[in-house]
Amino acid sequence: MPQLNGGGGDDLGANDEMISFKDEGEQEEKISENVSAERDLDDLKSSLVNESENNSSSSDSEQAERRPQPRPDLDSYEKTRDYFSEALRRQQDGGFFKSPHYPGYPFLMIPDLTNPYLSNGALSPSARTYLQMKWPLLDVPGAAGLKDPRSPTPGHLGRLSQTWWCSLFCSYKPHGTHMKMLMLMSQHLSVSNKVPVVQHAHHVHPLTPLITYSNEHFSPGTPPSHLSPEILDPKTGIPRTPHPSELSPYYPLSPGAVGQIPHPLGWLVPQQGQHMYSIPPGGFRHPYPTLAMNASMSSLVSSRFSPHMMPHHPHGMHQTGIPHPAIVSPAIKQEPNSHDHMSPSMHSKSPGPAKKEEDKKPHIKKPLNAFMLYMKEMRAKVVAECTLKESAAINQILGRRWHSLSREEQAKYYELARKERQLHSQLYPGWSARDNYGKRKKRKRDNKPDSTPEDFSIRNKNQCVQYLPSEKMCDSPASSHGSMLDSPATPSAALASPAAPAATHSEQAQPLSLTTKPEGRLHHHFLTGKPSGSASSSSSSSSSSSSSSHPSISIPIGTSGSHSAPIFSRPIPFSSLHHSMLSPPSPFHQAALHSHHALFQSQPLSLVTKSSD
């Protein structure tokens, strides 16, 4: 295992910690890495730009990326967030293996303070743990700064890093969630005071004026129990001191820090009648889209963490015990399927008992996988760079981009996905993906397995016609992307899911993937003779589309031990082969090979070689 930080730690968690707290001594290296990755992105970007219908200059595009411009369609907050996320991602580039600009917030993940998975919005007790995990490194002033819980001075606000606020607002969803957010925030603050602090003393946080917490919305009363450093046991509901293991391994919090601080929320608690800050009716608009928030985090700060998911608390009572209609109402209104209630369909009168029961069950969404996280993050960017609108087309592009990502970059997402799953499992120990089966209307799939070429052409031809042009227009040409180590890595060996994405292939190897989609689906695994589509892909198996689109033969490599490793249909770059042959696929391997990666970036594809085992 490559060492990311010179530390040992086969344990992933250990690695995580190291990743989060890299030595400054590595800054230089990271900078170069950032530069390298940025170059990758630039390449990709420029290629996209060149081929996009936009015809916009690279510089323009770059500018747009670095300085997200207010877009008229900002009504979609999610999009905006993603957009910002992307900007951040570019800025930080590979947060997993590189030091973030704000060392203190390497993986600040701030969900909406709502349950990230409960579509109904119930904020389970465990969600608090989740929040702590997600906000482990808040830039919090020392206890002294928090001494006076009723002193919401700008100074206090100013002591929160912009990063933190950025994250906060990026994750923020208007209407009624701010209260909970603050509550949870404060909870986190109470346990993170010992975390390295990044202060921007000279700043009065720009967002300050946007915050309004009149007593109308928030009664500065006795801090709710959940605001204490304790964590409610998800199962028992009994407050308890969080076990270090419960906190994200990324954020090694000093146990001693827990519970030492007076309730920090005080600085946010306005005095009676005070309206120090105001929140725009439409909710927050992030003024600093490019502030350092780990892009990956932003992925987590996704729409899933919407206030809609806010739990419905009986009697309109905030979970904290503070009655606050504003917190609940909007959520309820927007998302009727609040779990204590019924999902939309259940709102119909007199549902059957069975159905009722079923409906009562909250819909816990699946944790996003690496690609989904990536998609969320990159979609906005792709959309911005292309004229494409259809998600199907966008997704095709994203799929290709995904494969063209460097190992580090992919590893970042795999790691994030792994964390997501971990958190998810912790939040919902009993949850199973199966629980969601059937919730969605069964997708109508062609019953004809591998329909005849004719059948195939009938429907998919249209698809090709429909999406292909766009793809050609927007997708980055393989040659333009420097990364040849584009294979996903085994998401952390230790804890990661068994699904260890094996090395993939260079984009260059399959420039026509989309155009050859129909034929591509027929290609078989180079060695196994099995369809290369990989069983994991629904589309590849039952529908004539998708991953089978790559016409080139696939070479199973580096699957060492990963039975579920995807089968890649494109030729594997020599570098990837080399790597995978040497050791089990892992993000960390890739990290270790980063320097080599840089070299390979400039290598012609001709290097693609099958190395012997």
Residues 378-407 that bind DNA (CB under 7 A): 379, 389-392, 395-396, 398-399, 402-403
Interaction residues for DNA, span 420-479 (CB under 7 A): 421, 432-434, 436-445, 449, 459-460, 463, 467
For 239, phi then psi, to 5°, come to -60, 140
| Nearer of residues 51 and 420 to DNA, judged by Cβ | 420
Determine, following the binding rule CB under 7 A, whether residue 130 of this chain makes contact with DNA: no
| Nearer of residues 80 and 163 to DNA, judged by Cβ | 80
Pick from 517, 570, 526: nearest CA to 548: 517
Q: Looking at 105-113, 230-238, 249-257, 534-542, which segment touches DNA (CB under 7 A)?
A: 534-542
- Nearest approach, Cβ of residue 450 and DNA (Å): 8
- Nearest approach, Cβ of residue 580 and DNA (Å): 14
- Nearest approach, Cβ of residue 586 and DNA (Å): 12
Q: Looking at 129-137, 182-190, 282-290, 359-367, which segment touches DNA (CB under 7 A)?
A: 359-367
Interaction residues for DNA, span 540-579 (CB under 7 A): 540-543, 545-547, 549, 563-564, 566
State the residue for tokens 């260079």: 506
| Nearer of residues 313 and 517 to DNA, judged by Cβ | 517
Q: Rounded to an integer, what distance in angstroms lies between the CA atom of residue 570 and that of residue 398?
A: 16
Determine, following the binding rule CB under 7 A, whether residue 158 of this chain makes contact with DNA: no
Quick one: CA dihedral 342, 344, 350, 353, positive or negative? Answer: negative
Determine, following the binding rule CB under 7 A, whether residue 492 of this chain makes contact with DNA: no
Q: Name which position in 61, 537, 580, 601 contacts DNA (CB under 7 A).
A: 537
For 524, phi then psi, to 5°, come to -115, 165
| Nearer of residues 67 and 361 to DNA, judged by Cβ | 361
Token pair in block for residue 585 = 């696929």
Q: Are 89 and 421 in contact (CB under 8 A)?
A: no
Nearest-10 crossing angle of helices 594-601, 27-51: 30
Interaction residues for DNA, span 63-82 (CB under 7 A): 76, 78-79, 82
Q: Rounded to an integer, what distance in angstroms lies between the CA atom of residue 555 and that of residue 608?
A: 12
Token pair in block for residue 425 = 């499992």
| Nearer of residues 283 and 316 to DNA, judged by Cβ | 283
For 118, phi then psi, to 5°, come to -75, 110
- Nearest approach, Cβ of residue 489 and DNA (Å): 9
State the residue for tokens 């730009």: 49
Q: Name which position in 95, 104, 141, 531 contacts DNA (CB under 7 A).
A: 531
Interaction residues for DNA, span 337-356 (CB under 7 A): 344-345
- Nearest approach, Cβ of residue 424 and DNA (Å): 8
Q: Name which position in 369, 406, 483, 580 contacts DNA (CB under 7 A).
A: 369
SS3 content of the chain, % helix, strand, coil (to 5): 45, 0, 50
Determine, following the binding rule CB under 7 A, whether residue 499 of this chain makes contact with DNA: yes
Determine, following the binding rule CB under 7 A, whether residue 315 of this chain makes contact with DNA: no
CA diameter of the chain: 75
Q: Name which position in 71, 355, 363, 524 contacts DNA (CB under 7 A).
A: 363
- Nearest approach, Cβ of residue 84 and DNA (Å): 13
| Nearer of residues 410 and 506 to DNA, judged by Cβ | 410
Q: Are 497 and 491 in contact (CB under 8 A)?
A: yes
Interior CA angle at 80 toward 75 and 86, to 5°?
165
Q: Are 115 and 122 in contact (CB under 8 A)?
A: yes
The string over 72-94, giving b where at least 16 C-beta atoms fall within 10 Å of a residue's C-beta and e elsewhere, is: eeeeebbbbbbbbbbbbbbbbbb
Determine, following the binding rule CB under 7 A, whether residue 365 of this chain makes contact with DNA: yes
| Nearer of residues 224 and 336 to DNA, judged by Cβ | 336
| Nearer of residues 101 and 381 to DNA, judged by Cβ | 381
| Nearer of residues 159 and 403 to DNA, judged by Cβ | 403
Q: Rounded to an integer, what distance in angstroms lies between the CA atom of residue 68 and that of residue 61?
A: 10
- Nearest approach, Cβ of residue 171 and DNA (Å): 13
| Nearer of residues 230 and 486 to DNA, judged by Cβ | 486
Size of site (CB under 7 A) for DNA: 82
Pick from 2, 11, 21: nearest CA to 408: 2
Query: Can you give the C-alpha Rg of the chain in angstroms?
Result: 24
Quick one: CA dihedral 369, 29, 486, 478, positive or negative? Answer: positive
- Nearest approach, Cβ of residue 259 and DNA (Å): 33
List Cα–Cα distances, 189 to 68, 141, 216, 265, in angstroms.
30, 9, 23, 8
Q: Name which position in 145, 491, 518, 556 contacts DNA (CB under 7 A).
A: 491
Token pair in block for residue 486 = 């584009």
Q: Name which position in 141, 488, 571, 587 contacts DNA (CB under 7 A).
A: 488
| Nearer of residues 115 and 190 to DNA, judged by Cβ | 115
Q: Rounded to an integer, what distance in angstroms lies between the CA atom of residue 24 and that of residue 26?
A: 5
- Nearest approach, Cβ of residue 193 and DNA (Å): 33
Q: Are 210 and 279 in contact (CB under 8 A)?
A: yes
Give the CA count within 13 Å in the CB-facing half-sphere of 71.
21
Q: Looking at 26-34, 122-130, 412-420, 594-602, which segment touches DNA (CB under 7 A)?
A: 412-420
- Nearest approach, Cβ of residue 552 and DNA (Å): 13
Determine, following the binding rule CB under 7 A, whether residue 85 of this chain makes contact with DNA: no
Q: Side chain identity at 8, as an amino acid letter?
A: G
The alpha carbon of residue 473 and the mean position of all alpha carbons in its chain are separated, in whole angstroms, by 27
Determine, following the binding rule CB under 7 A, whether residue 517 of this chain makes contact with DNA: yes
Interaction residues for DNA, span 160-219 (CB under 7 A): none
Q: Are 396 and 384 in contact (CB under 8 A)?
A: no
Q: Looking at 49-57, 216-224, 320-328, 373-381, which segment touches DNA (CB under 7 A)?
A: 373-381
Quick one: CA dihedral 454, 459, 460, 462, positive or negative? Answer: positive
Q: Looking at 40-48, 93-101, 532-540, 575-583, which segment touches DNA (CB under 7 A)?
A: 532-540
Interaction residues for DNA, span 266-305 (CB under 7 A): 302-304
Determine, following the binding rule CB under 7 A, whether residue 235 of this chain makes contact with DNA: no
Strands 231-232 and 239-240: antiparallel
State the residue for tokens 């465990």: 126
| Nearer of residues 199 and 538 to DNA, judged by Cβ | 538
Q: Looking at 93-101, 173-181, 472-480, 489-497, which segment touches DNA (CB under 7 A)?
A: 489-497
